[in-house]
Amino acid sequence: MKKSILFLFIITFLINCSRSIEKKDAILNSIEIKLERGAFHYDTFILKDTLLSFYPEKLSNNALGNESELAKYYQKSEQYISKTQLMNLIQKIETSNIWNLSENYSCESSCTSNLTVHIKYKEQQKTITCEDYKCDCPELLQYLENELIKLHGKDLKRIDLPG
């Protein structure tokens, strides 16, 4: 009798653990972040689940030439991130109150180096635009830009234009 109760307890525990893992995976698979940069870049990073993709500005007439230092900015690339990295990013988003941010941030002295972030998570979605990523842009959006660049691993940091 005791063995039967213990067996039922173990089976119930395993079923609950399995459901918890399935729920966690569903949460991980429900996020999409699209980050669009302006000024010199006009490129896009898209994080969907654990796949982080980089889409460069389209170039015409091979404007880049042979400058290998900048070549990485004009090549589409993809990188998978770990579930732990994704969970850390989700946790930062959940604790940041991103849903309470305004949809637009403008700056009188803008250099028009804009940053637009589209986020879909669970049942919510939001688009936030900053006319200038340095001036009056919420710290969270700057964090998301820097974190996606870091997670992507190609060191595609923002290049500021002179002036």
Contact between 8 and 22 (Cβ < 8 Å): no
Residue of 140, 157, 148, 139 whose CA lies nearest to 33:
148
Domain limits, the chain: 31-152
Reported for 48-53, long-range contacts at CB under 8 A and 24+ positions apart, including other chains, are: 49/86, 50/80, 50/81, 50/82, 50/83, 50/86, 51/78, 51/79, 51/80, 52/78, 52/79, 52/80, 52/81, 52/148, 52/151, 52/152, 53/77, 53/78
Encode pLDDT of 15-66 as tens digits. Answer: 665 555 544 444 445 899 999 988 666 889 999 999 999 998 865 444 555 5
Encode pLDDT of 80-118 as tens digits. Answer: 999 999 999 999 999 998 999 999 998 877 566 889 999
Contact between 95 and 121 (Cβ < 8 Å): no
Q: Quick one: pLDDT at residue 49? A: 93
Q: What pTM, to 2 d.p., does this model score?
A: 0.74
Domain 31-152 has CATH 3.30.1560: yes
Structure tokens at 65: 């030439």
